[in-house]
Amino acid sequence: MHSIIIYMFPLILISFETLLRNLSSVDTFGFIGPTLAATAISLLLPLTKVKEFKIESDDGQQWVKVSKYEQNFSYFIWLLLFVSLFIWFWVCSLSMQNSTIELFNLPTHIVIGSCLYILSVILSAVKDYLL
């Protein structure tokens, strides 16, 4: 079940974005931020799965061990994933508004989507190399 969610989640987000594009008459540039945020969420999903280590005891029983750091990291990712869905929704609505608010000379939705994407890449690296 976990693998199905991981592989299907980007397709679900693409479907929502396509629906938003069809319902509103917004140019493609307006969806750079939401696309970055959706990609970030897709990168976070695999991080929810904890690594399990099988240990065999002296009497032949098999045990599964999970690192406490790994488990806590997984809980943190689930929370971040939940928050990221709201951030993605916010970025989508920002991209549909004709707002002139800019950060670092870029539209706000692009900056927020980029930040979420960079955070998910950093967390992926932490999971791969430190845990």
Average pLDDT over residues 14-27: 73
Q: Are the C-beta atoms of 41 and 13 separated by less than 8 Å?
A: yes
Dump pLDDT digits (tens) for 28-46: 667 778 888 998 998 899 9
Q: What percent of the chain has pLDDT over 70?
A: 84
Dump pLDDT digits (tens) for 67-98: 899 999 999 999 999 999 999 999 998 888 86
Distance CA 65, CA 124 (A): 22
Q: Are the C-beta atoms of 90 and 33 separated by less than 8 Å?
A: no
Question: pLDDT value at position 65?
Answer: 86
